[in-house]
Structure 1
Amino acid sequence: MDIRLLEAFRAVVESGSVTHAASSLGITQPAVSAQIARLESELGFSLFTRTGNRLRLTSEAVTFRAEVERTLDRIDDLGRAAEHIRQGQVGSLTVASHPMAGVALLPPVIAAFVQQRPNVRVQLFTRNSDLVRGMFPSRTIDIGIAELPIDPTGLNVTRYRMECVAVLPKDHALCAHEIITPTLMSGLPFVGMSREWAAHHLVNSVFAEAAAHLNVVVASELFAMICELVANGVGVSIVDPASARQFQAAGLAIRPFRPLVPYDIAIFHSAEQDLSLIGRTFLEAFDAHLQGLIAPATETDR
């Protein structure tokens, strides 16, 4: 049934005349009369009787009116829903990330994202980087975040490089130095990172090249735990800047570390299916957040 016929019927009922209905609909009076006649023909019963200059609903039209109101209200709801979808205000997003991103990077991004989109549902999975990479190409996960390397086959990948920083207990003697080096940390109790991380091997390398003693007393696979251990005085360490900032209030002092220890991550999604507007908007929000953390690009990064 042509929705325009139902709208014409509602307009006549609400205004009480064909003339006023035509004015509200922005069409001519004969056009409204033709629409009402066509609707009556399709329905098989009359909708109005005329008493003088007034139109009255027939008994059948009274019952039909209730159904028309429900139908048109539902269509209005669908129109609003479509508009919200077009604006990226309704829908869902599923993100799988490695622990560092899940703890240190995503919370502020997600918080701002859902505050602006209260009808968007976000589901988060936290797994190690190997498992996150293995989830793609999956149609159940929209976006992945993991440490490099990542096989780009079938994926759209955006890479980010951060400079790891030194973290110290806030009253540590090394806080007097503006830049921390392996030589300054040599022999000090050190909270190390998992061997599975590329950063673990880079830290070992820079200490070896400086002939400095890397005295690992505790090792953890989570940057968040490393920061908490340092804040509690277990030792010193080297972590990504996002984790360091998140736990600074817990009692960490943060200093630049040289030589550079890079920490590389990527955000990616399937190249075989279009990402929704919600997903594209999230990528933009994540990128904006990372701009304050990433290291300046070098010729080898480009």
Structure 2
Amino acid sequence: MRQTLRIRQLEALMAVTTNGSVTAAAADLGVSQPAVSRLLSDLEKSFGFQLFDRRKGRLVPTQEVRYLQPSVDRVLELMKQISDASQNITQRKAGHIRVACLPGFATSHLPDVVASFLKDRPGVTMTIEPDRPERILEWMVGEQYDFGITDGFNGHPGVESRNVDVRTVCVFPKNHALENLSEVTPSDLADENIIHTRRDSDFFGRLSKAFQQANVTLNSHIEVRQFTAACELAIKGVGVSIVSELDAVHYTDRGLSYRPFKPFLPHTLSLVRPVLKQPSLITLEFIEHFSESLNAFRTLA
């Protein structure tokens, strides 16, 4: 029964083939000459044929070895690739991350975060899939994605979540009268058309309550699903809106202006991942990277 081939034996074979001597091969491999001789002897026994002929003081590979050489080269190159890949994984420089997010994030905050994360990680690839919160929850429960960015999450035994409260602001076109204020309250919006999120959303419920407590009518004008859509509409002058500052900042160079909204009305983001799916090291690192990107927008209350 033939012995199982070892990578070190093949490395010794190619080192001697390249250098023509055991002494030079040992120096290249960083081992002793007897160690190289032993590796070659064991390999000859495993192959069942002679590996080298001695000609003018040099070891010359036999025709059998020359025939095997392309295959041996491929094996050693593949092992090098595996070694490099494993090192990259250990150093968080390789891997694949599947991210599900709210549609607005796919075009506002997330691209900058992904770009900064991948800058020094050329071996990392990503899938980014935007969809509504209900669908993101399904994907997390089904372990189809590694990480999700959503809102309105009420908990699920199959999903681990971390909530982050971010500041909200009132957005409006540049040169609007509201720019003269240091902060905006419901009373300041009594005569404004309001662009707002879905009526069945938690955020709209809290916004509506803030207007009621101020005895101000919320002039509902346009209902949207995403804050990014509200920002786009506000730029065009069709109304004002209360949105996450996280979204608003990405539109200031396109004609949008904003001021802090009072009373305190945070927007809650949920960072979610499957409970039973063991996350890769690179996934955990990306989650922390994304979480840190929110620090400038977190509420202090």
TM-score, normalised relative to structure 1: 0.92
Mapped contact 1:133–1:150 kept (Cα < 8 A): no
Mapped contact 1:164–1:257 kept (Cα < 8 A): yes
2-structure distance, mates of 1:118, 1:285: 16
Within-5 A mapping of 1:151-300: 151-296=155-300, 298=301
1:144 maps to a residue whose letter is G
Within-5 A mapping of 1:95-134: 95-134=99-138
- Once the 2 structures are TM-superposed, how far is the Cα of residue 18 of structure 1 from its aligned partner? 1.4
1:13 equivalent to 2:9? Answer no
Match 1:87 to one of 87, 91, 104: 91
2-structure distance, mates of 1:39, 1:192: 74
Mapped contact 2:109–2:250 kept (Cα < 8 A): no
**Structure 1 unaligned spans of 5+:** none
Distance 1:163 1:27, change over 3 A: closer
- Once the 2 structures are TM-superposed, how far is the Cα of residue 186 of structure 1 from its aligned partner? 0.9
2-structure distance, mates of 1:235, 1:56: 83
1:236 maps to a residue whose letter is V
2-structure distance, mates of 1:205, 1:87: 49
2:182 maps to a residue whose letter is E
Runs of 4+ aligned structure 1 residues displaced above 6 Å come to: none
Structure 2 SS opposite 1:253: strand
1-structure distance, mates of 2:136, 2:180: 40
Mapped contact 1:187–1:214 kept (Cα < 8 A): no
2-structure distance, mates of 1:217, 1:29: 84
Match of 2:44 in 1: 40
1-structure distance, mates of 2:195, 2:152: 23
1:90 maps to a residue whose letter is A
Distance 1:28 1:111, change over 3 A: closer
- Once the 2 structures are TM-superposed, how far is the Cα of residue 43 of structure 1 from its aligned partner? 0.9
Equivalent pairs, count: 297
Distance 1:121 1:196, change over 3 A: farther
Structure 2 SS opposite 1:292: helix
2-structure distance, mates of 1:58, 1:192: 79
Structure 1 SS opposite 2:298: coil
- CA RMSD of superposed structures (Å): 1.7
- Once the 2 structures are TM-superposed, how far is the Cα of residue 264 of structure 1 from its aligned partner? 0.7
Distance 1:131 1:66, change over 3 A: closer
Within-5 A mapping of 1:55-66: 55-66=59-70
Mapped contact 1:187–1:212 kept (Cα < 8 A): no
What percentage of residue pairs aligned between the two structures are identical?
31
**Structure 2 unaligned spans of 5+:** none
Mapped contact 1:182–1:210 kept (Cα < 8 A): yes
Structure 2 SS opposite 1:136: helix
Deviations 1:10-30 (A, max 9, x none): 121222111222222233222
1:226 maps to a residue whose letter is A
TM-score, normalised relative to structure 2: 0.92
Mapped contact 1:16–1:54 kept (Cα < 8 A): yes
- Once the 2 structures are TM-superposed, how far is the Cα of residue 52 of structure 1 from its aligned partner? 4.7
Structure 1 SS opposite 2:119: helix
Structure 1 SS opposite 2:296: coil
Deviations 1:198-220 (A, max 9, x none): 11111111111111121122222
- Once the 2 structures are TM-superposed, how far is the Cα of residue 89 of structure 1 from its aligned partner? 2.4
